[in-house]
Chain A
Amino acid sequence: MEFETIIGLEVHAQMLTDTKIFCNCSTKFGGAPNSHTCPVCLGMPGVLPVLNKKVVEYAMMMALATNCTINPSNSFARKNYFYPDLPKGYQISQYAYPLAEHGYVWIDMDGKQKKIGITRIHMEEDAGKLIHDENNPFSYVDLNRTGVPLIEIVGEPDIRSPEEAAEYLKRLHEILVYLEICDGNMEEGSFRCDANVSIRPVGQKEFGTRTELKNMNSFRNVQRALEYEVKRQQYLVENGESIIQETRLWDDAQGATNSMRSKEEAHDYRYFPDPDLVKVVVDEDWITQIRESLPELPVAKRERFIREYQIPAYDAGVLTADKALALYYEDVVRLCGKPKQASNWVMGDVLRFLNEGKRDIRQCPISARSLADMINLIEEGTISGKMAKDIVEDMYHTGKPPQDIIREKGLVQITDEGELTETIKAIIDAHPVQLADYRGGREKLFGFFVGQVMKATQGKANPQLVNNLLKKMLAP
Protein backbone atom coordinates (compact mmCIF):
# COMPACT_ATOMS: atom_id res chain seq x y z
CA MET A 1 0.00 0.00 0.00
CA GLU A 2 1.23 3.51 -0.81
CA PHE A 3 1.05 6.00 2.02
CA GLU A 4 1.15 9.73 2.27
CA THR A 5 2.78 11.37 5.29
CA ILE A 6 1.12 14.32 7.01
CA ILE A 7 3.26 16.41 9.36
CA GLY A 8 2.45 19.55 11.32
CA LEU A 9 5.10 21.22 13.47
CA GLU A 10 4.85 23.33 16.59
CA VAL A 11 7.91 25.42 17.29
CA HIS A 12 8.70 27.15 20.55
CA ALA A 13 11.25 29.93 20.26
CA GLN A 14 12.69 31.78 23.22
CA MET A 15 12.64 35.54 22.75
CA LEU A 16 16.00 37.22 23.25
CA THR A 17 14.90 39.72 25.89
CA ASP A 18 16.86 40.62 29.01
CA THR A 19 13.93 39.96 31.32
CA LYS A 20 11.07 37.52 31.64
CA ILE A 21 7.70 38.01 29.98
CA PHE A 22 5.77 39.17 33.10
CA CYS A 23 8.46 40.24 35.60
CA ASN A 24 11.91 41.86 35.76
CA CYS A 25 13.91 38.70 36.48
CA SER A 26 16.84 37.85 34.22
CA THR A 27 16.41 35.36 31.38
CA LYS A 28 20.09 34.39 31.33
CA PHE A 29 20.83 30.71 30.87
CA GLY A 30 23.05 28.95 33.40
CA GLY A 31 22.45 31.01 36.57
CA ALA A 32 22.56 29.30 39.97
CA PRO A 33 19.33 27.26 40.39
CA ASN A 34 16.34 29.31 41.55
CA SER A 35 18.34 32.55 41.58
CA HIS A 36 16.40 34.29 38.76
CA THR A 37 13.08 34.25 40.51
CA CYS A 38 10.70 36.69 42.19
CA PRO A 39 7.20 36.59 43.67
CA VAL A 40 5.64 37.03 40.20
CA CYS A 41 7.34 34.11 38.43
CA LEU A 42 7.17 31.97 41.57
CA GLY A 43 3.40 32.37 41.46
CA MET A 44 3.00 33.87 44.94
CA PRO A 45 -0.53 34.93 45.85
CA GLY A 46 -1.50 38.52 45.19
CA VAL A 47 1.16 39.41 42.63
CA LEU A 48 0.43 41.09 39.33
CA PRO A 49 2.14 40.10 36.08
CA VAL A 50 2.91 42.97 33.69
CA LEU A 51 3.69 42.26 30.03
CA ASN A 52 7.19 42.97 28.70
CA LYS A 53 6.69 45.27 25.70
CA LYS A 54 9.75 43.91 23.90
CA VAL A 55 8.21 40.44 23.81
CA VAL A 56 5.23 41.85 21.90
CA GLU A 57 7.52 43.70 19.49
CA TYR A 58 9.70 40.65 18.86
CA ALA A 59 6.67 38.41 18.36
CA MET A 60 5.25 40.97 15.90
CA MET A 61 8.55 40.94 13.99
CA MET A 62 8.32 37.18 13.53
CA ALA A 63 4.65 37.42 12.61
CA LEU A 64 5.37 39.98 9.88
CA ALA A 65 8.44 38.11 8.64
CA THR A 66 6.27 35.00 8.16
CA ASN A 67 3.45 36.85 6.42
CA CYS A 68 0.97 36.56 9.29
CA THR A 69 -1.94 38.90 9.94
CA ILE A 70 -1.62 40.57 13.31
CA ASN A 71 -4.83 40.62 15.32
CA PRO A 72 -5.64 44.22 16.27
CA SER A 73 -6.78 42.97 19.67
CA ASN A 74 -5.29 39.93 21.35
CA SER A 75 -5.21 38.68 24.90
CA PHE A 76 -3.84 36.17 27.37
CA ALA A 77 -5.51 33.11 28.87
CA ARG A 78 -4.71 30.67 31.62
CA LYS A 79 -3.97 27.08 30.69
CA ASN A 80 -4.63 25.07 33.82
CA TYR A 81 -2.78 21.93 34.81
CA PHE A 82 -0.73 20.64 37.72
CA TYR A 83 2.93 19.91 37.34
CA PRO A 84 5.84 20.73 39.66
CA ASP A 85 7.57 22.88 37.04
CA LEU A 86 4.55 25.18 36.96
CA PRO A 87 4.31 26.99 40.29
CA LYS A 88 1.05 28.85 39.64
CA GLY A 89 -0.89 25.76 38.53
CA TYR A 90 -1.48 27.44 35.19
CA GLN A 91 0.58 28.67 32.28
CA ILE A 92 -0.15 32.11 30.89
CA SER A 93 -0.57 31.71 27.16
CA GLN A 94 -2.76 33.00 24.33
CA TYR A 95 -5.69 30.86 23.28
CA ALA A 96 -8.83 32.26 21.68
CA TYR A 97 -7.18 35.55 20.68
CA PRO A 98 -3.58 34.92 19.56
CA LEU A 99 -1.23 37.68 18.43
CA ALA A 100 -1.14 36.64 14.79
CA GLU A 101 -2.62 34.14 12.33
CA HIS A 102 -2.68 32.92 8.70
CA GLY A 103 0.99 33.19 7.70
CA TYR A 104 3.32 31.11 5.58
CA VAL A 105 6.95 30.51 4.65
CA TRP A 106 8.46 29.14 1.44
CA ILE A 107 10.71 26.13 1.54
CA ASP A 108 13.00 25.01 -1.25
CA MET A 109 12.94 21.30 -2.09
CA ASP A 110 15.52 20.59 -4.82
CA GLY A 111 14.85 23.90 -6.51
CA LYS A 112 11.07 23.60 -6.18
CA GLN A 113 9.33 26.15 -3.98
CA LYS A 114 6.65 24.96 -1.58
CA LYS A 115 4.48 27.06 0.68
CA ILE A 116 4.01 25.88 4.28
CA GLY A 117 1.17 27.54 6.13
CA ILE A 118 1.41 28.97 9.62
CA THR A 119 -1.79 28.67 11.60
CA ARG A 120 -0.91 31.09 14.37
CA ILE A 121 1.85 32.69 16.42
CA HIS A 122 1.20 33.40 20.06
CA MET A 123 3.12 34.54 23.13
CA GLU A 124 3.43 32.51 26.31
CA GLU A 125 5.65 31.85 29.31
CA ASP A 126 8.03 28.93 29.69
CA ALA A 127 7.86 26.46 32.59
CA GLY A 128 10.66 25.54 35.01
CA LYS A 129 13.18 22.73 34.75
CA LEU A 130 12.89 19.35 36.45
CA ILE A 131 15.81 17.12 37.31
CA HIS A 132 14.93 13.56 38.24
CA ASP A 133 16.86 11.69 40.89
CA GLU A 134 18.08 8.40 39.44
CA ASN A 135 18.18 6.56 42.76
CA ASN A 136 15.66 8.23 45.02
CA PRO A 137 11.96 8.95 44.63
CA PHE A 138 12.53 12.70 44.18
CA SER A 139 12.60 15.31 41.47
CA TYR A 140 14.36 18.66 41.84
CA VAL A 141 12.87 21.90 40.56
CA ASP A 142 14.71 24.93 39.19
CA LEU A 143 12.36 27.82 38.43
CA ASN A 144 14.87 30.10 36.62
CA ARG A 145 13.24 29.32 33.29
CA THR A 146 9.73 29.90 34.62
CA GLY A 147 8.32 32.95 32.89
CA VAL A 148 10.97 33.16 30.19
CA PRO A 149 9.24 34.54 27.08
CA LEU A 150 8.38 32.18 24.26
CA ILE A 151 6.52 32.41 21.03
CA GLU A 152 4.80 29.33 19.73
CA ILE A 153 4.63 29.01 15.97
CA VAL A 154 1.92 26.54 15.03
CA GLY A 155 2.28 25.21 11.50
CA GLU A 156 -0.40 23.86 9.18
CA PRO A 157 -0.29 20.11 8.38
CA ASP A 158 1.19 20.98 4.97
CA ILE A 159 4.42 19.02 5.36
CA ARG A 160 4.62 15.75 3.42
CA SER A 161 8.02 14.31 4.35
CA PRO A 162 10.67 14.40 7.09
CA GLU A 163 12.97 16.27 4.67
CA GLU A 164 10.36 18.98 4.20
CA ALA A 165 9.98 19.18 7.97
CA ALA A 166 13.74 19.74 8.43
CA GLU A 167 13.75 22.32 5.64
CA TYR A 168 10.80 24.21 7.17
CA LEU A 169 12.50 24.25 10.58
CA LYS A 170 15.72 25.57 9.07
CA ARG A 171 13.82 28.40 7.39
CA LEU A 172 12.05 29.37 10.63
CA HIS A 173 15.29 29.14 12.57
CA GLU A 174 17.12 31.27 10.02
CA ILE A 175 14.43 33.98 10.12
CA LEU A 176 14.42 34.09 13.95
CA VAL A 177 18.20 34.40 14.06
CA TYR A 178 18.27 37.03 11.29
CA LEU A 179 15.70 39.07 13.19
CA GLU A 180 17.96 38.77 16.26
CA ILE A 181 14.94 37.91 18.41
CA CYS A 182 16.06 34.35 19.29
CA ASP A 183 19.56 32.92 19.71
CA GLY A 184 18.40 29.70 18.02
CA ASN A 185 20.37 27.47 20.40
CA MET A 186 18.65 24.08 20.16
CA GLU A 187 20.77 22.40 22.82
CA GLU A 188 19.85 24.99 25.45
CA GLY A 189 16.23 24.78 24.35
CA SER A 190 15.93 28.26 22.83
CA PHE A 191 14.43 26.65 19.72
CA ARG A 192 12.31 23.55 20.30
CA CYS A 193 10.05 21.55 18.09
CA ASP A 194 7.15 19.13 18.57
CA ALA A 195 5.71 17.25 15.63
CA ASN A 196 2.30 15.82 14.85
CA VAL A 197 2.57 12.92 12.44
CA SER A 198 0.05 10.71 10.71
CA ILE A 199 -0.10 8.65 7.54
CA ARG A 200 -2.96 7.85 5.18
CA PRO A 201 -3.29 5.67 2.09
CA VAL A 202 -2.72 7.79 -1.02
CA GLY A 203 -6.06 9.09 -2.25
CA GLN A 204 -7.77 9.02 1.15
CA LYS A 205 -9.21 12.35 2.28
CA GLU A 206 -9.44 11.88 6.05
CA PHE A 207 -6.32 12.16 8.19
CA GLY A 208 -5.12 9.04 9.98
CA THR A 209 -4.67 8.88 13.77
CA ARG A 210 -1.75 11.10 14.69
CA THR A 211 0.97 10.82 17.27
CA GLU A 212 2.83 13.72 18.82
CA LEU A 213 6.63 13.57 18.93
CA LYS A 214 8.72 15.38 21.51
CA ASN A 215 12.32 15.60 22.68
CA MET A 216 14.09 16.21 19.38
CA ASN A 217 16.86 18.72 19.97
CA SER A 218 18.48 19.09 16.55
CA PHE A 219 17.37 19.38 12.94
CA ARG A 220 18.87 15.98 12.29
CA ASN A 221 16.97 14.39 15.17
CA VAL A 222 13.69 15.88 14.00
CA GLN A 223 14.22 14.27 10.63
CA ARG A 224 15.35 10.94 12.10
CA ALA A 225 12.47 10.83 14.58
CA LEU A 226 9.94 11.56 11.85
CA GLU A 227 11.45 8.94 9.53
CA TYR A 228 11.27 6.37 12.31
CA GLU A 229 7.72 7.29 13.27
CA VAL A 230 6.43 7.14 9.68
CA LYS A 231 7.92 3.66 9.30
CA ARG A 232 6.45 2.56 12.63
CA GLN A 233 2.98 3.75 11.67
CA GLN A 234 3.19 2.07 8.25
CA TYR A 235 4.21 -1.18 9.88
CA LEU A 236 1.23 -1.02 12.24
CA VAL A 237 -1.25 -0.30 9.46
CA GLU A 238 0.16 -2.97 7.17
CA ASN A 239 -0.13 -5.52 9.94
CA GLY A 240 -3.70 -4.64 10.68
CA GLU A 241 -2.92 -2.95 13.99
CA SER A 242 -4.22 0.43 14.99
CA ILE A 243 -2.26 3.58 15.77
CA ILE A 244 -2.89 4.98 19.23
CA GLN A 245 -3.19 8.74 19.60
CA GLU A 246 -0.44 9.47 22.10
CA THR A 247 2.71 11.45 22.83
CA ARG A 248 5.97 9.71 22.01
CA LEU A 249 9.49 10.68 23.04
CA TRP A 250 12.43 10.46 20.68
CA ASP A 251 15.34 8.50 22.14
CA ASP A 252 18.48 9.60 20.34
CA ALA A 253 20.74 6.77 21.53
CA GLN A 254 18.15 4.13 20.69
CA GLY A 255 17.14 5.81 17.43
CA ALA A 256 13.47 5.19 18.19
CA THR A 257 10.33 6.85 19.54
CA ASN A 258 8.77 5.48 22.72
CA SER A 259 5.31 5.98 24.16
CA MET A 260 5.21 8.26 27.19
CA ARG A 261 2.67 5.80 28.60
CA SER A 262 0.75 8.58 30.28
CA LYS A 263 -2.74 7.79 31.42
CA GLU A 264 -4.82 7.89 28.29
CA GLU A 265 -7.15 10.63 29.37
CA ALA A 266 -7.59 13.73 27.30
CA HIS A 267 -6.17 16.84 28.90
CA ASP A 268 -8.71 19.39 30.01
CA TYR A 269 -6.88 22.68 30.37
CA ARG A 270 -9.99 24.77 31.12
CA TYR A 271 -8.60 27.84 29.35
CA PHE A 272 -10.12 31.11 30.45
CA PRO A 273 -9.15 34.78 30.01
CA ASP A 274 -6.46 35.83 32.50
CA PRO A 275 -8.02 38.62 34.57
CA ASP A 276 -4.55 39.85 35.65
CA LEU A 277 -3.56 40.92 32.14
CA VAL A 278 -5.25 43.49 29.96
CA LYS A 279 -5.77 43.25 26.22
CA VAL A 280 -2.97 43.98 23.78
CA VAL A 281 -4.22 46.41 21.15
CA VAL A 282 -2.10 46.77 18.04
CA ASP A 283 -2.86 49.64 15.68
CA GLU A 284 -1.67 50.19 12.11
CA ASP A 285 0.98 52.68 13.20
CA TRP A 286 2.59 50.17 15.48
CA ILE A 287 2.55 47.49 12.77
CA THR A 288 4.11 49.93 10.26
CA GLN A 289 6.79 50.87 12.74
CA ILE A 290 7.70 47.21 13.32
CA ARG A 291 7.55 46.42 9.61
CA GLU A 292 9.99 49.24 8.87
CA SER A 293 12.38 47.99 11.54
CA LEU A 294 12.68 44.54 9.92
CA PRO A 295 16.15 43.78 8.55
CA GLU A 296 16.65 42.22 5.13
CA LEU A 297 15.44 38.63 5.46
CA PRO A 298 17.41 35.56 4.31
CA VAL A 299 15.43 34.90 1.13
CA ALA A 300 15.61 38.53 -0.01
CA LYS A 301 19.33 38.66 0.77
CA ARG A 302 19.96 35.48 -1.20
CA GLU A 303 18.15 36.87 -4.23
CA ARG A 304 20.00 40.17 -3.99
CA PHE A 305 23.39 38.42 -3.79
CA ILE A 306 22.62 36.47 -6.97
CA ARG A 307 21.44 39.62 -8.76
CA GLU A 308 23.92 42.16 -7.45
CA TYR A 309 27.10 40.08 -7.22
CA GLN A 310 26.37 37.70 -10.11
CA ILE A 311 27.26 34.67 -8.00
CA PRO A 312 25.62 31.22 -8.35
CA ALA A 313 22.54 30.41 -6.25
CA TYR A 314 24.55 27.82 -4.35
CA ASP A 315 27.19 30.38 -3.32
CA ALA A 316 24.50 32.86 -2.34
CA GLY A 317 22.88 30.15 -0.20
CA VAL A 318 26.11 29.37 1.66
CA LEU A 319 27.03 33.02 2.16
CA THR A 320 23.60 34.03 3.52
CA ALA A 321 23.02 30.99 5.74
CA ASP A 322 24.59 33.00 8.55
CA LYS A 323 23.85 36.71 8.80
CA ALA A 324 27.33 37.51 10.15
CA LEU A 325 28.95 35.62 7.29
CA ALA A 326 26.85 37.56 4.76
CA LEU A 327 27.95 40.79 6.41
CA TYR A 328 31.62 39.74 6.28
CA TYR A 329 31.31 38.80 2.60
CA GLU A 330 29.70 42.11 1.75
CA ASP A 331 32.48 43.97 3.57
CA VAL A 332 35.11 42.10 1.55
CA VAL A 333 33.28 42.85 -1.71
CA ARG A 334 32.91 46.51 -0.81
CA LEU A 335 36.67 46.76 -0.10
CA CYS A 336 37.96 44.87 -3.14
CA GLY A 337 35.15 45.18 -5.68
CA LYS A 338 35.50 41.57 -6.82
CA PRO A 339 32.42 39.57 -5.77
CA LYS A 340 33.28 36.27 -7.42
CA GLN A 341 36.85 36.16 -6.06
CA ALA A 342 35.60 37.23 -2.64
CA SER A 343 33.02 34.45 -2.72
CA ASN A 344 35.66 31.86 -3.66
CA TRP A 345 38.01 32.87 -0.85
CA VAL A 346 35.29 33.18 1.80
CA MET A 347 33.55 29.92 0.88
CA GLY A 348 36.77 28.06 0.27
CA ASP A 349 39.70 28.82 2.54
CA VAL A 350 38.08 31.03 5.17
CA LEU A 351 35.14 28.71 5.87
CA ARG A 352 37.42 25.68 5.84
CA PHE A 353 39.72 27.23 8.48
CA LEU A 354 36.73 28.22 10.59
CA ASN A 355 35.16 24.76 10.36
CA GLU A 356 38.43 23.08 11.25
CA GLY A 357 38.86 25.36 14.25
CA LYS A 358 35.13 25.09 15.11
CA ARG A 359 34.95 28.86 15.03
CA ASP A 360 32.31 31.33 14.05
CA ILE A 361 32.86 34.02 11.40
CA ARG A 362 32.70 36.57 14.24
CA GLN A 363 35.89 35.03 15.63
CA CYS A 364 37.67 34.97 12.28
CA PRO A 365 41.24 36.31 12.67
CA ILE A 366 41.28 37.45 9.03
CA SER A 367 39.55 40.82 8.85
CA ALA A 368 37.44 41.68 5.84
CA ARG A 369 39.99 44.42 5.10
CA SER A 370 42.88 41.91 5.06
CA LEU A 371 41.08 39.47 2.79
CA ALA A 372 40.12 42.27 0.41
CA ASP A 373 43.75 43.50 0.34
CA MET A 374 44.95 40.01 -0.46
CA ILE A 375 42.49 39.69 -3.35
CA ASN A 376 43.72 43.03 -4.66
CA LEU A 377 47.36 41.92 -4.38
CA ILE A 378 46.56 38.91 -6.57
CA GLU A 379 44.76 41.09 -9.10
CA GLU A 380 47.68 43.53 -9.22
CA GLY A 381 50.05 40.64 -9.82
CA THR A 382 52.06 41.24 -6.65
CA ILE A 383 51.43 37.67 -5.58
CA SER A 384 50.19 34.63 -7.46
CA GLY A 385 47.04 32.71 -6.55
CA LYS A 386 49.26 29.86 -5.47
CA MET A 387 51.25 32.09 -3.11
CA ALA A 388 48.00 33.50 -1.77
CA LYS A 389 46.95 30.03 -0.62
CA ASP A 390 49.91 29.97 1.78
CA ILE A 391 49.60 33.61 2.73
CA VAL A 392 45.92 33.30 3.67
CA GLU A 393 46.76 30.40 5.95
CA ASP A 394 49.37 32.55 7.70
CA MET A 395 46.86 35.37 7.92
CA TYR A 396 44.43 33.04 9.66
CA HIS A 397 46.98 31.81 12.17
CA THR A 398 48.64 35.14 12.91
CA GLY A 399 45.86 37.64 12.27
CA LYS A 400 48.38 39.77 10.35
CA PRO A 401 47.52 41.69 7.18
CA PRO A 402 48.83 40.12 3.93
CA GLN A 403 51.32 42.97 3.33
CA ASP A 404 53.15 42.15 6.59
CA ILE A 405 53.37 38.45 5.79
CA ILE A 406 54.62 39.16 2.26
CA ARG A 407 57.28 41.54 3.59
CA GLU A 408 58.40 39.28 6.43
CA LYS A 409 58.72 36.23 4.20
CA GLY A 410 60.02 38.07 1.16
CA LEU A 411 57.19 36.63 -0.87
CA VAL A 412 56.79 39.25 -3.55
CA GLN A 413 56.12 37.71 -6.91
CA ILE A 414 58.90 37.95 -9.47
CA THR A 415 57.52 39.88 -12.39
CA ASP A 416 60.83 41.21 -13.61
CA GLU A 417 61.30 39.86 -17.13
CA GLY A 418 65.07 40.29 -17.15
CA GLU A 419 65.55 38.44 -13.87
CA LEU A 420 63.32 35.56 -14.97
CA THR A 421 65.02 35.33 -18.36
CA GLU A 422 68.35 34.85 -16.58
CA THR A 423 66.93 32.10 -14.40
CA ILE A 424 65.33 30.29 -17.33
CA LYS A 425 68.48 30.54 -19.36
CA ALA A 426 70.47 28.85 -16.56
CA ILE A 427 67.89 26.07 -16.29
CA ILE A 428 67.86 25.39 -20.02
CA ASP A 429 71.66 25.24 -20.04
CA ALA A 430 71.63 22.77 -17.16
CA HIS A 431 69.18 20.39 -18.88
CA PRO A 432 70.36 19.82 -22.46
CA VAL A 433 68.84 16.31 -22.71
CA GLN A 434 65.35 17.49 -21.75
CA LEU A 435 65.71 20.45 -24.08
CA ALA A 436 66.54 18.19 -27.00
CA ASP A 437 63.65 15.83 -26.19
CA TYR A 438 61.24 18.74 -25.92
CA ARG A 439 62.33 20.16 -29.21
CA GLY A 440 62.08 16.65 -30.61
CA GLY A 441 58.34 16.61 -29.86
CA ARG A 442 57.94 15.60 -26.20
CA GLU A 443 55.75 18.56 -25.33
CA LYS A 444 54.94 17.16 -21.93
CA LEU A 445 58.39 18.29 -20.86
CA PHE A 446 57.13 21.89 -20.86
CA GLY A 447 55.71 21.16 -17.43
CA PHE A 448 59.11 19.95 -16.28
CA PHE A 449 60.66 23.30 -17.17
CA VAL A 450 57.87 25.24 -15.44
CA GLY A 451 58.51 23.14 -12.33
CA GLN A 452 62.22 23.87 -12.46
CA VAL A 453 61.61 27.61 -12.72
CA MET A 454 59.18 27.56 -9.82
CA LYS A 455 61.65 25.53 -7.76
CA ALA A 456 64.46 27.95 -8.51
CA THR A 457 62.29 30.95 -7.59
CA GLN A 458 60.65 29.27 -4.59
CA GLY A 459 57.26 29.60 -6.26
CA LYS A 460 57.54 33.34 -6.51
CA ALA A 461 57.69 33.64 -10.29
CA ASN A 462 54.60 35.04 -11.99
CA PRO A 463 53.15 31.91 -13.66
CA GLN A 464 51.82 33.74 -16.70
CA LEU A 465 55.18 35.36 -17.34
CA VAL A 466 57.04 32.06 -16.86
CA ASN A 467 54.78 30.42 -19.44
CA ASN A 468 55.33 33.17 -21.97
CA LEU A 469 59.08 33.29 -21.54
CA LEU A 470 59.50 29.51 -21.59
CA LYS A 471 57.47 29.19 -24.79
CA LYS A 472 59.68 31.74 -26.44
CA MET A 473 63.01 30.42 -25.13
CA LEU A 474 62.34 26.68 -25.59
CA ALA A 475 61.28 27.14 -29.19
CA PRO A 476 63.85 25.77 -31.59
Chain B
Amino acid sequence: MKLSTQDVEYVAKLARLEFTDAQKEKFTVQLNNILIYIEKLGELDTTGIAPMSHAIAVSNAFREDVERPSLGTKATLANAPDARGEFFRVPKVID
Protein backbone atom coordinates (compact mmCIF):
# COMPACT_ATOMS: atom_id res chain seq x y z
CA MET B 1 0.00 0.00 0.00
CA LYS B 2 1.40 3.43 -1.02
CA LEU B 3 -1.32 5.42 0.68
CA SER B 4 -2.89 5.10 4.11
CA THR B 5 -6.39 6.09 5.17
CA GLN B 6 -4.76 9.06 6.96
CA ASP B 7 -3.45 10.29 3.60
CA VAL B 8 -6.94 10.09 2.15
CA GLU B 9 -8.32 12.01 5.14
CA TYR B 10 -5.64 14.70 4.70
CA VAL B 11 -6.30 15.14 0.98
CA ALA B 12 -10.05 15.20 1.64
CA LYS B 13 -9.55 17.93 4.20
CA LEU B 14 -7.49 20.04 1.80
CA ALA B 15 -10.27 19.67 -0.76
CA ARG B 16 -12.93 20.42 1.90
CA LEU B 17 -14.61 17.05 1.36
CA GLU B 18 -16.19 14.83 4.00
CA PHE B 19 -16.38 11.06 3.66
CA THR B 20 -17.84 8.18 5.65
CA ASP B 21 -15.44 5.52 6.94
CA ALA B 22 -16.65 3.15 4.22
CA GLN B 23 -15.91 5.73 1.53
CA LYS B 24 -12.48 6.43 2.98
CA GLU B 25 -11.57 2.75 2.78
CA LYS B 26 -12.89 2.46 -0.75
CA PHE B 27 -10.94 5.55 -1.91
CA THR B 28 -7.78 4.34 -0.19
CA VAL B 29 -7.92 1.17 -2.30
CA GLN B 30 -8.80 3.05 -5.51
CA LEU B 31 -6.12 5.72 -5.07
CA ASN B 32 -3.56 3.01 -4.33
CA ASN B 33 -4.46 1.18 -7.50
CA ILE B 34 -4.00 4.37 -9.52
CA LEU B 35 -0.61 5.05 -7.92
CA ILE B 36 0.55 1.48 -8.50
CA TYR B 37 -0.41 1.80 -12.16
CA ILE B 38 1.43 5.12 -12.49
CA GLU B 39 4.47 3.52 -10.80
CA LYS B 40 4.99 1.60 -14.04
CA LEU B 41 6.48 4.82 -15.49
CA GLY B 42 9.24 4.52 -12.91
CA GLU B 43 10.54 1.45 -14.76
CA LEU B 44 11.90 3.72 -17.50
CA ASP B 45 15.28 5.32 -17.03
CA THR B 46 14.71 9.10 -17.26
CA THR B 47 18.14 10.21 -16.05
CA GLY B 48 19.11 13.49 -17.68
CA ILE B 49 15.68 14.20 -19.15
CA ALA B 50 14.05 17.47 -18.07
CA PRO B 51 10.59 17.13 -16.52
CA MET B 52 7.82 17.89 -19.00
CA SER B 53 4.94 20.12 -18.03
CA HIS B 54 3.16 20.34 -21.39
CA ALA B 55 2.24 17.84 -24.04
CA ILE B 56 3.13 20.27 -26.83
CA ALA B 57 6.43 22.07 -27.28
CA VAL B 58 5.05 25.59 -27.53
CA SER B 59 6.48 28.60 -25.69
CA ASN B 60 5.81 32.34 -25.45
CA ALA B 61 2.08 32.49 -26.19
CA PHE B 62 1.48 36.15 -25.44
CA ARG B 63 -1.35 38.65 -25.47
CA GLU B 64 -0.95 42.37 -26.18
CA ASP B 65 -1.81 44.80 -23.38
CA VAL B 66 -5.02 46.06 -24.95
CA GLU B 67 -8.17 46.56 -22.92
CA ARG B 68 -11.39 44.89 -24.03
CA PRO B 69 -14.86 45.27 -22.52
CA SER B 70 -15.51 43.28 -19.37
CA LEU B 71 -18.67 41.37 -18.59
CA GLY B 72 -20.12 44.07 -16.36
CA THR B 73 -21.29 43.73 -12.79
CA LYS B 74 -24.76 42.41 -13.64
CA ALA B 75 -23.58 39.51 -15.80
CA THR B 76 -20.75 38.78 -13.39
CA LEU B 77 -23.13 38.31 -10.49
CA ALA B 78 -25.85 36.56 -12.51
CA ASN B 79 -24.94 33.01 -11.49
CA ALA B 80 -23.65 33.79 -8.02
CA PRO B 81 -25.20 31.64 -5.27
CA ASP B 82 -25.51 34.80 -3.18
CA ALA B 83 -25.01 38.46 -4.00
CA ARG B 84 -25.89 41.79 -2.47
CA GLY B 85 -25.74 45.04 -4.42
CA GLU B 86 -22.64 44.98 -6.60
CA PHE B 87 -20.89 42.33 -4.50
CA PHE B 88 -20.72 38.57 -4.15
CA ARG B 89 -21.81 37.68 -0.63
CA VAL B 90 -20.13 34.88 1.30
CA PRO B 91 -20.13 33.63 4.89
CA LYS B 92 -17.92 35.89 6.95
CA VAL B 93 -14.24 35.03 6.68
CA ILE B 94 -11.59 36.44 8.93
CA ASP B 95 -8.42 34.46 8.60
Contact = CB atoms under 8 A, between A and B. Distances in A.
A35 interface: yes
A130 B93 contact: yes
A4 B68 CA distance: 52
Interface stretch (A59-67, A134-142, A227-235, A403-411): A134-142
Interface of A: 17-19, 22, 24-26, 32-39, 42, 50-56, 73, 75, 80, 82-84, 130-133, 136-143, 260, 262, 268, 270, 273, 275, 277-281
Contacts of B56: 278
A141 B76 contact: no
A52 B64 CA distance: 6
Given A24-B67, A51-B63, A142 B87 contact: yes
Contacts of A35: 70, 72-73, 76, 86
Contacts of B85: 33, 140
B65 A17 contact: yes
Given A32-B73, A281-B59, 12 more contacts: A24-B67, A33-B86, A51-B61, A80-B14, A136-B92, A140-B90, A141-B87, A141-B89, A142-B86, A278-B59, A278-B60, A279-B54
Q: What is the interface of chain A mostly: helix, strand, loop, or mixed? A: loop
A277 B63 CA distance: 12
Contacts of A141: 87-90
Contact of A140 (B62, B73, B87): B87
Given A33-B73, A132-B92, A142-B87, A19 B67 contact: yes
A143 B70 CA distance: 12
A36 B70 contact: yes
10 contacts: A34-B73, A34-B86, A35-B72, A75-B53, A82-B16, A136-B92, A140-B85, A141-B89, A275-B54, A281-B60
A55 B72 CA distance: 24
Which of B62, B72, B94 gathers most chain A CB within 10 Å? B62
Nearest to A82: B16
B66 interface: yes
A139 B92 contact: yes
Question: Which 8 pairs from chain A and chain B are nearest by CB?
Answer: A273-B53, A140-B87, A24-B68, A53-B62, A141-B88, A33-B86, A54-B65, A50-B63
Contacts of A280: 59-60
B77 interface: yes
A139 B90 contact: yes
Contacts of A273: 53-54
Contact of A138 (B16, B86, B90): B90
A51 B64 CA distance: 9
A42 B54 contact: no
B84 interface: yes
Contact of A56 (B62, B64, B94, B95): B62
Contact of A33 (B60, B87, B93): B87
Contacts of A260: 95
Contact of B76 (A55, A143, A268): A143
B53 A275 contact: yes
Contacts of A138: 84, 89-92
Contacts of B72: 35
Nearest to A49: B63
A19 B65 contact: yes
Contact of A133 (B70, B86, B92): B92
A84 B93 contact: yes
B41 interface: no
B34 interface: no
Nearest to A272: B53
A38 B71 CA distance: 5
Contacts of B70: 25-26, 35-38
A18 B87 CA distance: 23
A270 B15 CA distance: 11
Of listed B59, B65, B84, B93, residue having the most chain A CB within 10 A: B65
Nearest to A84: B90
Given A19-B66, A24-B67, A281-B59, A270 B95 contact: no
B58 interface: yes
B88 A24 contact: no
A89 to B, nearest CB: 9
A139 B84 CA distance: 10
B19 to A, nearest CB: 18
B53 A52 contact: no
Nearest to B75: A37
B88 to A, nearest CB: 4
A26 B65 CA distance: 10
